[in-house]
Amino acid sequence: MSQKTVKISANLPEEAFELLKTLAYNRQTTMTEVLRSAINHESFFSEVVQKEGKVLTEDKNGQMRQILLK
């Protein structure tokens, strides 16, 4: 099943645009796919915050940190 797509235009600071290009290159994907992924992640984080949950990261040594979101 194909989803309908909508074309958008966005104004980004040059630094953000370069970061977007680098992320796409490193992931061997498109800038559009990186943006889709970022939107999905933001949606997930927003849902966690709305439910008063926490987002945690763990480094290779087992050190836990909380990501503070608004």
pLDDT tens across 8-48, in order? 999 999 999 999 999 999 999 999 999 999 999 999 999 99
Please report, in angstroms and rounded to a whole number, the separation of the first and last CA atoms in the chain.
35
Closest CA to 53 of 42, 66, 39, 40: 66
Please state the domain extents for the chain.
14-67
How far apart CA 11 and CA 22 sit, in angstroms, is 17
- Supply the pLDDT for residue 1: 59
* DSSP helix/strand/coil, 38: helix
Q: Would the pLDDT of 70 be above 80?
A: no
What separation in angstroms does the CA of 55 have from each of 12, 13, 42, 43?
27, 27, 12, 13
Give me the mean pLDDT over the 51-58 stretch: 93
Give me the mean pLDDT over the 43-65 stretch: 94
